[in-house]
Structure 1
Amino acid sequence: MRRRFTFLHNPGEHDLAQSPEAMLSRYRGPLCIKVDGEDRSRCRALVTLLHGNEPSGLHAIWHWLRSAERPAVNLLLMIASVSAALCEPLFSHRMLPRARDLNRCFRPPFEDEQGRLAEEILTLLELHDPEAVVDMHNTSGRGPDFAVVAFDDPFHDAIAAFFTHRLVVCSLGLGALMESSSDTRPIVTVEVGGCEDPRADTIALAGLQRFAQAPRISPQHGNATPLEKLDAPLRLELRDGVTLTYADTPQRGHDVTLNPVIEHHNFGTVTVNTPLGWSDADPRQLFQARDASGLCAVRQLVQVIDGVLYPAQTLILFMITTHAGIAESDCLFYAVSADGSPISGTGPVGI
C-alpha cells in the first residue's frame, strides 16, 4: 500500500516552519507526528483536519509543538486533509472537488483515494495502539464547543472532559472515525467551535495541553464540571432535488429558505413559535429524518404554517450550519427533545 503520510519524530523548530500554514506548504500531504512521552510504554492520539476547512486542531498542534512540552505518554498527532486545506483560499475547502467527505470513509470498502487515506489512519492507530484518540473538528456554523461519542461510558466521558462540558451520544453509522471506537481504543470527536471564532483555537490548544499532560485518563482526571449530555439526536436532511438558500426573507426559486440567524440557536431551545425559515411545501416532501428504528421523524421536528417553517415541538438544536453546500451534502441540524432525550418517529420513511 502506498504510504500517504510523511512521518516526523520529535520535530524541532525547523521541521515546524514559521506558521501552521507554512508547515502544510512544506510537506504538501498528510502528516503523522510522534512525540516521545515521559512514559513511552503508552500512547495517545489526536487526529485533525479530516476536513480541510477546520484548522483549529492544526493550530493547536503547531503551537503545542513549538512550546516543546513533553507529554506524559507518547503522543501521535495526525493531520489529514492537507491538500484540501491548501486549496486557495486556504482552509476554505471541506474536501477536494468531487472527493468524498473523509469523515464518512472509515468503513470498507476503501476503494477511492479518501477511503485509502481513512484506511491508513486506521492502520496507524492499530500500529501505535493508543489508549485514547481525539478527533478534533471545527463546527460548520457558529456555536459552542462540544464532544460526540458513539459509546457512552466513564472512559469516553473522561476524554471528552479534557476539552468540553457538553457531550452528544450519537451512533448513526455514517462511517465517521469515532464509530471505530472500542473498549480498548476509545475515540471521541471534539468540536471546538466555529473556524472563524478565535475562541476555538484557544479551546483546542488548552484541551490538547490537558490531554497530553494528564498522567492517567480516568473520570477523576478530566474536567470537574459534570457533562451535559444529549442522547441519540436526529439529523434533519434535505431530500434529493430540494433546493435550499439562506436569506432574511423567502426567496423565489428555492424550495426552502432558512433565516441566517438560525445558527444563533446552536445548543439553545426552540419552541413551536420560533420561526426557522420559509417554505410552501409539506415538510415530508422537503426533509428526511430517521429515528433509531428507521421510522420517519420529520413531523416530530418541523412543521409549516402559512408558509413559515417552525419546530414541531420544543427542541434543542445543534450543529446548525448556514453553508448551503454542507446542508445539502450532510444535514441542516441535529435535534433532541427539550430534556435532551431522543425523539421517536411515527411512520414509514417514504412520503
Structure 2
Amino acid sequence: MRRFRFLRNPPASGLGGDVEAFLRYLGGPSCIFLEGADSSRCRAFVTLLHGNEPSGARALFRWLKSGQQVAVNTVCILASVEAALASPLFSHRMLPGTPDLNRCFRPPFTGPQGLLAEEILELLALHRPEAVVDMHNTSGSGPAFAVCTHMDRQHEALASLFTRCLIVTRLNLGALMEISDHGCPTVTIEVGGRMDAEAHQLAYEGLCRYLLRPRILARDDRDQGLELLQDPIRLELNPGVRLTCGERAAPGFDVTLRPDIEQLNFGTVSAWTPLGWVSGELRRLFRARDAGGGCAVARLVREEGGRLYPAAPLKLFMITGNAAIAASDCLFYAVEVAAPPPAWKPD
C-alpha cells in the first residue's frame, strides 16, 4: 500500500482553492479517511479510476471544503490522480502506455495498474465497508445511470441515491463493481458527461445523500421505481479498425460515425436510425458478445448501401465518437427493446 497517500479528516483550509490545487496537494493515489458520527460502520467512495472523469473528484473536494461530518466512517479513494493532472487537466483516461485501471480488478495483478488495483481491493477489505460507490463520467454527454452485477433491494437502494436508471450486467471485464456481493453492495455511478455542469452537480448532490444519510441500503417508500435494463451488449472495434466522425464516409477510415452520435445516448433507436458509414464486412470491423458468450454483432448493427444502422430497435448508452476511447473500450452498450418506436426509412 506504499503507493497511496493516507489522510485522516484533512482540514478544509489545507486542500487548496480549487480541484486542481487539491489534486496537486494529493500528488498521487490517495486514501482519505473521514470519521463519522457513527464509527461502528464504514462506507467507501471511489473515484478517478479514469483520469479524464472529474465529477467525482470535484464532488469530493466540494464536500471536504464544506466542513460537514459524514454519517458513518467513510474511506474515499482517488486513484488516477497523476493521469488527471497530466496536461491538460482531466484529459487523460490513463497515462500513455498504461492499461485501463478499471479492467485490472482481477488476477493476475501485474504491472503498475494491476498492483494499484490490488491495493485498492486490499484497502476495501481492510475497512470492510457496508457499501461501495464507484463514480464515473460517461465518455459522451448523456443522462446519469447506475450499473451493478447483482440485483437486489440493497443495490437498488444504493443506485437510487444518484439516479433513476439501473443497468444490471453479467459482463466480466475486471471492473471494480464486479467485487459486489450481498455483504458489500457495489455500484458504478455514471453521472453524465465529463464536461457537463449538470453531471458535476448531480455528483455532488448524490454524494451528499450517500455521506449524510444514516441508512442507505433500504428504499424510501416515497422513492420512485428505477428503470431496469438487463444484460447490455458491448459493441467494440476489432484491432486495427480505423474510426472517425463526419458528415459522410471518410476516405481511409473503416468506420465513420455521424458527428452527433452522442445525442443518441439513452434514446431508443429504430432499425432505420443512421449511425454512420462502414467499409467492409461487419464482423471484420466489430466484435460483440452476449451474456452467453455468443457473437452478437448481427443483433446490434447491420449494413445497407455502405451505411450503418441498428439491426433492431435498441436502447443505446455510453456512446462515444472518441476514437481513442472506442479503440480501448467500446463504441456503445445496447439493450434490445420489446416495443419498437415508429420506424422510418431514408430515401
Q: TM-score, normalized by length of structure 2?
A: 0.95
1:219 offset after TM fit, Å? 3.1
8 Å CA contact 1:281, 1:304 repeated in 2: no
Alignment of 1:213-232 (within 5 A): 213-221=212-220, 224-232=223-231
TM-score (norm 1): 0.94
Deviations 1:86-108 (A, max 9, x none): 10001000000000100000011
Measure how far apart 1:338 and its partner are: 1.4
Q: CA deviation at 1:57?
A: 0.2
2:300 is matched with which residue?
301
Can you list the C-alpha shifts for 1:283-334, whole angstroms capped at 9, x where unaligned? 1221111111111111111111011100111000000011110001111000
For the 8 Å contact 2:148–2:186, the answer to whether it is kept is: yes
Residues 50, 94 of structure 2: 8 Å contact kept: yes
For 1:1-351, list aligned pairs within 5 A. Answer: 3-221=2-220, 224-339=223-338
Contact kept in structure 2, 1:238 and 1:286, CA below 8 Å: yes
Contact 1:35–1:74 (Cα < 8 Å) also in 2: yes
Gaps of 5+ in 2: 340-347
The CA distance in 1 between the partners of 2:280 and 2:295, in whole Å, is: 17
Structure 1: give runs of 5+ residues left out of the alignment.
Answer: 341-351
Residue 222 of structure 1 and its aligned partner are, at CA, apart by 8.7
RMSD (Å) for aligned C-alpha atoms: 1.3
CA distance in 1, matches of 2:303, 2:324: 23
**Percent of paired sites with the same residue:** 56
Aligned equivalents of 2:36 and 2:23: distance in 1?
Answer: 24
Aligned equivalents of 2:219, 2:178: Cα separation in 1? 25
Call closer, same or farther: CA 1:163–1:20 in 2, change over 3 Å.
Answer: same
Aligned length: 339
CA separation of 1:223/1:235 partners in 2, compared to 1, >3 Å: closer, same or farther?
A: farther
Measured in 2, the distance between the counterparts of 1:52 and 1:67 equals 24
Name the amino acid aligned to 1:7.
F
Bigger mean CA offset, 156-165 vs 15-24: 15-24
Q: Match of 1:130, as an amino acid?
A: P
What letter matches 2:256 in structure 1? Answer: T
Q: For residues 39 and 5 of structure 1, do their structure 2 counterparts lie closer, same or farther at Cα, with a shift above 3 Å needed?
A: same
CA contact (8 A) 1:53 1:85 kept: yes
Shift of 1:339: 3.8
Task: Give distance in 2, aligned partners of 1:118 and 1:222.
Answer: 37
How many Å separate the matches in 1 of 2:170 and 2:206? 24
Task: Answer yes or no: is the 8 Å Cα contact 2:12–2:66 preserved in 1.
Answer: no
Q: What secondary structure sits across from 1:335 in the alignment? A: strand
